[in-house]
Amino acid sequence: MNRKHKKRIWLSIAGIIALLLVLVGASEAYFFKTAFVPGDKSVLNKYSTQSKKDPLFEQKRWYEKAKKQKWYIKSNTSNYRLDANYIPASSDKSVVLLHGFSNNKDSMGAYAAMFHKLGYNVLMPDARAHGQSQGKYIGYGWPERYDVRKWIKKLLTKEGKQQKVAIFGVSMGGATTMMTSGIKMPKQVKVYIEDCGYTDVKSEFLHEAGDLYHLPGPVAKTAVNLLGLLCKAKLGFEPADASAVKSLAHNRKPMLFIHGGNDPFVPTKMVYANYKATKGPKELWIAKRATHARSFATYPKEYQQKVGKFLKKYM
């Protein structure tokens, strides 16, 4: 083989490698944008509807008509302005409602109606990079846990230190609730309720890579590892670090775990690892037929009974 022929071969190999690097870089940029940059995420069910056939129609209509105060804080990091609705109930009990990925505070309207009926003041923040809150990237609950603590401190400043506080979240909000339980919180926080939250961000990404994008196992693992490097560079943490399981190991307060038995987005098996990890009093309810974030809509009466009974016991 002459020198010119060898040179052409090496140039071809170099070209292929360069093309692969470009394709990998473009793919990772796409996945990073899809996962972390605010915008419409059409892959998710927004779990809201205007139909009268909706089993939560009355609760959502109540929320639309309820008088809401506007509250604001600055985020714990990056100085973002965060937005929330507050619906008072002239009560010494309050709840903070945490919404899911690519949703906003208004998607929690039915839950607001449920808690208000139970006698709770209701604080409904938009997470950073969601709704009317500012933010460059979605943190999946990890940086947001400190924002939740700031919201609670504002609530106690406004309503008084006699308040007893519950934290409740769905999907990403459920994971945020669990992650929040692992940091030092005001003593007024008495209970946590999470609905269909994941174990950790990396595990959820791996599941989505297979379930949504149908990537084979080794390819999914490589893609998620590369995505983790971008996450570390831009957000300051790796997806494996953002762990509900590790956070729950530091929790000593009561927690109610709820999960749909037919959840394709956050696998039902994740709730068992979360339930096992917490060190405080705990209860678990699997809503057998419910899909992701649909336990309330699928079992509206039982859902309210489960939540009400848990709150009565521990608040």
| Section 19-47 average pLDDT | 59
- Look at phi and psi of residue 223 and say left if phi exceeds 0, alpha if psi is from -120 to 50, else beta: alpha
Q: Is the pLDDT of residue 173 over 70?
A: yes
- pTM confidence score: 0.89
Percent of the chain with pLDDT over 90: 77
* Average pLDDT in the chain: 90
The 10s digit of each residue's pLDDT in 45-82 is 444 455 778 999 999 999 999 999 999 999 999 999 99
> What is the pLDDT at residue 14?
41
Among the residue ranges 11-20, 54-63, 254-263, 289-298, the one predicted with the least confidence is 11-20
Backbone angles phi, psi at 106, to 5 degrees: -65, -25
> What is the pLDDT at residue 91?
97
Q: Is the pLDDT of residue 15 over 80?
A: no
The 10s digit of each residue's pLDDT in 176-222 is 999 999 999 999 999 999 999 999 999 999 999 888 888 888 888 88
> What is the pLDDT at residue 213?
83
Q: What is the 3-state secondary structure (H, E, C) of the chain?
A: CCHHHHHHHHHHHHHHHHHHHHHHHHHHHHHHHHHHCCCCCCCCCCCCCCCCCCCCHHHHHHHHHCCCEEEEEECCCCCCEEEEEEECCCCCEEEEEECCCCCCHHHHHHHHHHHHHCCCEEEEECCCCCCCCCCCCCCCCCCHHHHHHHHHHHHHHHHCCCCEEEEEEECHHHHHHHHHCCCCCCCCEEEEEEECCCCEHHHHHHHHHHHCCCCCHHHHHHHHHHHHHHHHHHHCCCCCCCEHHHHHCCCCCCEEEEEECCCCCCCCHHHHHHHHHCCCCEEEEEECCCCCCCHHHHCHHHHHHHHHHHHHHHC
Residues whose CB falls within 8 Å of the CB of residue 74, separated by 6 or more in sequence, listed in order:
80, 81, 82, 150
| Section 291-301 average pLDDT | 98
Distance CA 207, CA 215 (A): 10
The 10s digit of each residue's pLDDT in 237-249 is 999 999 999 999 9
- With cut-offs at 50, 70 and 90, classify the pLDDT of residue 40: low
> What is the pLDDT at residue 219?
83
Distance CA 203, CA 224 (A): 9
- With cut-offs at 50, 70 and 90, classify the pLDDT of residue 12: very low
The 10s digit of each residue's pLDDT in 75-128 is 999 999 999 999 999 999 999 999 999 999 999 999 999 999 999 999 999 999
> What is the pLDDT at residue 3?
54
Residues whose CB falls within 8 Å of the CB of residue 174, separated by 6 or more in sequence, listed in order:
98, 100, 194, 195, 196, 197, 198
Q: Where are the domains of the chain?
A: 37-200+242-314
> What CATH class does 37-200+242-314 carry?
alpha beta
